[in-house]
Structure 1
Amino acid sequence: MGPVSAPSSPPTVEELGWLAVDEAGAAGVARRVAMDCARRLGFTEQRSGEVAIVAAELASNLHRHADGGVLSVRLLRRGEVGGVELVALDSGPGMADLPLSSLDGHSTAGTLGIGLGAVQRLSDRATGYSQPGRGTVFAAQLWPEGHGPVGHAAVGGLSRPISGEKVCGDRFAARVAADGGLLVLVADGLGHGPLAAAASAAVVDAFLATPLSAPGAILEHVHRTVSHTRGAAVSVARLGGGSVVFAGLGNVAGTIAFPDGERRGMVSMPGIVGHQSRVVREFAYDLPAEGVVVLHSDGVSERWSLREYPGLARRDPLLVAATLLREAGVRRDDACVAVARGGEGA
């Protein structure tokens, strides 16, 4: 894998909702939601139809072969161009050979074993991770013709609302600083529901709008900007040059994680962005090439280890985030995980 010293600007992400795939009719619902999203973005009828096919294939396979299958539909924006992303998660039997299961005509008793060939053909980016006995995660991006993904994904994240809520109070965002450093943020709006979602949305808007690149300065700026909201716990990490600089206020965890299970926690200070901030401090840490930075809200248990998922740390960061959300997002709360890679030689 080549260096990621100057990653392309990641697209912004709008979560449109999670669909529980617990009955055959879920495939039709997924198809309609995904097609509506594509049409909203101005996709051609043909491309909108391809988005619908991918959504229906993923949902159908979750229903047929998975346990606890769910599908997230997301709207991506890169400048004036929008894309659709579908993320399928399950706790089914998993597959020992996901690439083989993705070949046209190959069927399997494992999860998502049928239809992945069509999904990969129609998608601009399609990637997955599966582990026997633990389940499968699979993500597909579809963009308008001529506007596919730019560069290698250096960061990915996923949010999920608490049961019974349609909107999530936790969000992540990422952008590239003027000097090429990768900035990643996770915000946990206080409470749940629309007011928590409004608080985290205001945090993300302030983060994306400011040219500041130091995590501490960004936190202070966001703190002043979102005082009209109920507030949020927020962490910001800056990756680049083989190191990570981290600043946090409140209970949003920051960790440097390694494939062998080693973890190095990063220090967040007490406070509530927008309301209570006694001090903002930055902490710098080495970030070796094999390490990934994981930020997550307190809806995700800290009892996870990448050692349990062979090879996952080297895969697309979105797959890492989705797997950790599935496995450790066990608390009754909104939940969000963001994962970034930025060590030298990554």
Structure 2
Amino acid sequence: MTHRYEDVWVSTADPSVIGGVRRTAVALATASGFDQNHTGQVAVAVTEAVSNLVKHAVDGVVLVRPHLERPGAVELVAVDKGPGIADLGRALRDGYSTSGTLGIGLGAIARMATGWDVYSVPGRGTVLVLHFTPDGLPDPPLRVSGLRRPIGEESVCGDAFAFADDGDAISVLVCDGLGHGGLAAHASREAVRIFMEDPHALPVAALERLHRGLGHTRGGAVAVVRVGRESVMFAGLGNISGWIAHAEGRQGMISLPGIAGHKGRRPRQYEYALPPHATVVLHSDGLTDRWDPASFPGLFAHSPAVVGATLLRDAGSRRDDACVVTVKQGR
């Protein structure tokens, strides 16, 4: 799966964004063949979720896009630094809602969605992820998610990612194109193209192809990982951070110095054991590598999208392009 869309994060500082986000979600649902009933559920759930951000969030942002793992599905990611939800169980019960909204509450929003997840820490904010499918039927647990955000007011992000699942393992590429803007984005898109020619190759073989193939671009930092049921294979060149994270801590994966396409040692591949219930995290240097799992109680029991959105919010910088990909263990 390649990420063919720019992630357009919309600030919820202005109430007028509610209608715009709803229309975007409805347009995606209609294009994916949702019937009138399911499209209406998307419209109501998205309206309520964004309304809550407008009313209560600090630095609230929302993203609506085609779902990365589920063809035809629509995904909403809502992130804020607001007061958080002190009693999540109460918030999920019927009859509890914020004043002045449609009054359906978080529990009803969750029931309208095919899948949902929420992570909230009082005083730090909330991350809510919803996805909707045309038939509304439950689907298998989600295993991978990726999020991007451009520097400042740029319209394109110089970071990119791609992934592929062969049933036994998920292979992932993250590329941070050198610099920012269009030329950096061109380098990272070219990395995606090269990777997707043979996405299930061993990481070291993929990295060798990328190093050879990016010479006509600016180049960039590149990492390739293959996440199986019990182990992770990793090869990196440049400052893409790779981590195996769980509730008790994290283990870093080794990336060699260099710029793919221009300079660097011969790529090497490293293999690591994957503890039960671990999450593999790859991110560009648009996120600080100083985040600590202990600072996020319970986070790594959540879905890949919630983990990634929380890290992007709390470890991300607006002074650089940012990209984070999160992968759960194989089934």
TM-score by length of 1: 0.86
Read off the aligned partner of 2:316 and give its amino acid letter. Answer: G
What secondary structure, in the 3-state scheme, does the structure 1 residue paired with 2:5 have? strand
For the pair 1:291 / 2:282, whether they are aligned, the reply is no
- Looking at structure 2, the residues matched to 100 and 306 of structure 1 have their Cα atoms a distance apart, in angstroms, of 26
Shift of 1:191: 1.9
The 5 Å alignment of 1:55-66 reads 55-66=46-57
Change (3 A) 1:229 1:83: farther
Change (3 A) 1:211 1:323: closer
What secondary structure, in the 3-state scheme, does the structure 2 residue paired with 1:137 have? strand
Change (3 A) 1:190 1:51: farther
Shift of 1:108: 5.5
Read off the aligned partner of 2:244 and give its amino acid letter. Answer: I
What per-residue deviation string (whole Å, max 9, x for no partner) do you get for residues 257-316 of structure 1?
2312x3221111122223334311101112111432211100101121111121111111
What secondary structure, in the 3-state scheme, does the structure 2 residue paired with 1:17 have? coil
- Matched-pair contact (CA < 8 Å) for 1:15–1:73: no
Counterpart in the other structure of 2:291: 304
Query: What CA RMSD, in Å, does the superposition of the two structures yield over aligned residues?
Result: 2.6
**2:121 is matched with which residue: 116, 125, 131?**
131
Any stretches of 5+ residues in structure 2 without a counterpart? none
- Matched-pair contact (CA < 8 Å) for 1:93–1:135: yes
For the pair 1:176 / 2:176, whether they are aligned, the reply is no
Read off the aligned partner of 2:157 and give its amino acid letter. Answer: C
Change (3 A) 1:307 1:77: closer
Counterpart in the other structure of 2:146: 157
Read off the aligned partner of 1:117 and give its amino acid letter. Answer: G
- Matched-pair contact (CA < 8 Å) for 2:286–2:319: yes
- Looking at structure 1, the residues matched to 178 and 45 of structure 2 have their Cα atoms a distance apart, in angstroms, of 35
What per-residue deviation string (whole Å, max 9, x for no partner) do you get for residues 226-283 of structure 1?
44433221111112242111101111111122312x3221111122223334311101
**1:28 is matched with which residue: 16, 19, 32?**
19
- Matched-pair contact (CA < 8 Å) for 1:248–1:280: yes
Shift of 1:195: 2.7
What secondary structure, in the 3-state scheme, does the structure 2 residue paired with 1:82 have? coil
Shift of 1:166: 1.9
- Looking at structure 2, the residues matched to 227 and 55 of structure 1 have their Cα atoms a distance apart, in angstroms, of 44
The 5 Å alignment of 1:150-229 reads 150-177=139-166, 180-229=168-217
Read off the aligned partner of 1:57 and give its amino acid letter. Answer: E
- Looking at structure 2, the residues matched to 11 and 98 of structure 1 have their Cα atoms a distance apart, in angstroms, of 34
Deviates more, 1:275-284 or 1:59-68: 275-284
Read off the aligned partner of 1:314 and give its amino acid letter. Answer: A
- Looking at structure 2, the residues matched to 11 and 271 of structure 1 have their Cα atoms a distance apart, in angstroms, of 24
**2:243 is matched with which residue: 237, 255, 264?**
255
Any stretches of 5+ residues in structure 1 without a counterpart? 1-9
For the pair 1:115 / 2:102, whether they are aligned, the reply is no
**2:266 is matched with which residue: 246, 256, 279?**
279
- Matched-pair contact (CA < 8 Å) for 1:15–1:74: no
TM-score by length of 2: 0.90
- Matched-pair contact (CA < 8 Å) for 1:101–1:114: no
Read off the aligned partner of 2:95 and give its amino acid letter. Answer: G
Counterpart in the other structure of 1:47: 38
- Looking at structure 1, the residues matched to 242 and 282 of structure 2 have their Cα atoms a distance apart, in angstroms, of 5
**1:238 is matched with which residue: 226, 230, 233?**
226
What per-residue deviation string (whole Å, max 9, x for no partner) do you get for residues 102-132 of structure 1?
23321359xxx96323321221111111111
Number of residue pairs matched by the alignment: 329
Change (3 A) 1:78 1:289: closer
- Looking at structure 1, the residues matched to 57 and 255 of structure 2 have their Cα atoms a distance apart, in angstroms, of 38
What secondary structure, in the 3-state scheme, does the structure 2 residue paired with 1:244 have? strand
Read off the aligned partner of 1:298 and give its amino acid letter. Answer: D
What per-residue deviation string (whole Å, max 9, x for no partner) do you get for residues 195-219 of structure 1?
3223222322332331543111111
Identity of aligned residues (%): 48
- Looking at structure 2, the residues matched to 314 and 272 of structure 1 have their Cα atoms a distance apart, in angstroms, of 34
